[in-house]
Amino acid sequence: MDKIVIEGGNRLVGEVAVSGAKNAVLPLMAAALLTSDWTTITNVPKLRDIDTFKKLLVHLGAEIAPDTPDGTLKIRTRDVAAPEAPYDMVKTMRASVLVLGPLVSRFKRARVSLPGGCAIGARPIDLHIKGLRQMGAEITIESGYVEVRAERLKGAKIYMDTATVTGTENLMLAAVHADGTTILENSALEPEVVCLADTLNRMGAHIVGAGTDTIRIEGVTELRPVEVRVIPDRIEAGTFMVASAMTRGNVFIKDCPYHYLDALNTKLKETGTEVTEEDGGVRVIGDWPIRSVDVKTIPYPGFPTDMQAQIMAMMAIGSGLSVITETVFENRFMHVSELQRMGANITVDGRCAVVRGVKRLSGAPLMATDLRASASLILAGLVAEGKTEVSRIYHLDRGYERIETKLKALGANIERVKE
Ligand code: UD1
């Protein structure tokens, strides 16, 4: 298994390009199930989660054209025959449940393994199931699988108790072929939800209100395949912004979706970091001392939970005290104990972490626990004195495309080595 080895202390300087957003690609791949001809998705990053979803689609009977170097993904779902997503696949990636909505919508039935727990919390899919039930689906849960049957889904008014990203996407994917109008209330506002709605509309769906908390979907009988370019990854962009800020760097982040990152921009500016929009991207210039700031994660457009671990690494070397509150997932502080091994002064009480900035972190052997935690350990390694080794980086490869190559090009002393 590979690990990442970093010799800390280098400033990051230069230009880095942001890849396509993983969390936008996955629902688009699920949308390919709604039409039987070739769907083309461009600007697709090379990531493990995307490979997992490809394997799932192939398991269902889809054809996937060979990889192209420019990140074009072509999917044809004409021959999908067995609408079943097995445990082996769903357990490695929760987002596999995104096939539930389109499968039941097109094939009148679906059998998808329940994802179970994951490192950052319980993460149920009860709201996906409740919404499908309200649309008239018959649902049973047996032997760890959710089995859904519906001759024809019916439009319904669905209120989601919690704004859920994949829940909103799943129900939208189910509702495009439903009989009548579906109204999703308290929907997630994330840009990836809007990207999916825009794409479905180009395929012939009638969806209005994506990006607001009420989405209205008029069912249609047929969709046509389209070519779609994936939006840039706001979390990857945000990770590079924090990397530049922490290392007193001067990095131009090309294709940075600045307008999706207001909450992070505001926080970075409060720390004393210069963040400026320039033609084609954003320049981030870091300065020390880093002013400590309080951060609370909130669904979009609030501060993203997917950036919480990275901002914590930055606060670990802040000049004062920072309170970081995680409101989205109940157990998303797995990176704390690893940061503590580097000398960070952090105490956790329930959903709050109190970070007292220290003058220096020291390199250490570390274990990545989940995707964004891995990124935070790498960021900490960039500023630590001495050598940091991050193992279990398969988590990192789920969501960051060649992060070590990109950081190296900015001047980091970082290598991927075989363990
Ligand atoms: C998506 C993102 C993930 C991000 C998260 C929150 C994808 C593929 N993944 O995950 O990177 O961290 O949004 O921004 O887009 N919940 C329920 N019942 C449900 C569904 C969710 O209680 O049926 C709860 C969850 O436990 C969590 C909250 O709702 O507390 C938000 O989760 P959700 O938005 O569903 O996260 P994902 O869509 O899984």
Q: Which of 161, 194, 229 is the endpoint of a domain?
A: 229
Specify whether 45 is located in the same domain as 151.
Answer: yes
pLDDT at 178: 96
Specify whether 346 is located in the same domain as 210.
Answer: no
pLDDT at 418: 87
Which DSSP letter does residue 68 get? -
Averaged pLDDT score across all residues of the chain: 95
Assess whether the C-beta atom of 297 lies below 6 angstroms from ligand 1.
Answer: no
How confident is the model over 40-50, as pLDDT tens digits? 999 999 999 99
Residue minimizing CA distance to atom 3 of ligand 1: 306
Tokens found for residue 288 = 């020390």
CATH number of the domain that 111 lies in?
Answer: 3.65.10.10
Specify whether 238 is located in the same domain as 187.
Answer: no
Assess whether the C-beta atom of 167 lies below 6 angstroms from ligand 1.
Answer: yes
Q: In terms of DSSP H, where are the helices of 220-261?
A: 234-246
Amino acid at site 98: L
Residue minimizing CA distance to atom 15 of ligand 1: 23
Residue minimizing CA distance to atom 4 of ligand 1: 306
Q: Report which ligand 1 atom has the smallest distance to the Cα of 94.
A: 39
pLDDT at 28: 98
- What value does the mean pLDDT take over residues 108-127? 79
Coil, helix or strand for 208? strand
pLDDT band at 122 (very low <50, low <70, confident <90, very high): low
Whether the per-residue pLDDT at 117 is higher than 70: the answer is no
Tokens found for residue 411 = 């001047």
Ligand 1 centre and the CA of 372: distance in Å?
Answer: 14
Rounded Cα distance, 342 and 130, in Å: 44
Inter-residue contact 305 to 328 (CB < 8 Å) = yes
Tokens found for residue 83 = 């609408």
Specify whether 11 is located in the same domain as 26.
Answer: no
Q: Cis ω on the peptide bond leading into residue 225 (within 30° of 0)? A: no
Intra-chain end-to-end CA distance of the chain, in Å:
5
Query: Per DSSP, what are the bridge partners of residue 365?
Result: 389
Assess whether the C-beta atom of 85 lies below 6 angstroms from ligand 1.
Answer: no
Residue with tokens 């506002």: 189
How confident is the model over 131-158, as pLDDT tens digits? 999 999 999 999 989 999 999 999 999 9
Inter-residue contact 33 to 63 (CB < 8 Å) = no
Lowest-pLDDT range of 102-111, 120-129, 226-235, 397-406: 120-129
Assess whether the C-beta atom of 162 lies below 6 angstroms from ligand 1.
Answer: yes
pTM for this structure?
0.96
Assess whether the C-beta atom of 15 lies below 6 angstroms from ligand 1.
Answer: no
Go through the chain and tell me how many residues it has.
419
Specify whether 287 is located in the same domain as 391.
Answer: yes
Q: Which of 210, 229, 248 is the endpoint of a domain?
A: 229
How confident is the model over 230-279, as pLDDT tens digits? 999 999 999 999 999 999 999 999 999 999 999 999 999 999 999 999 99
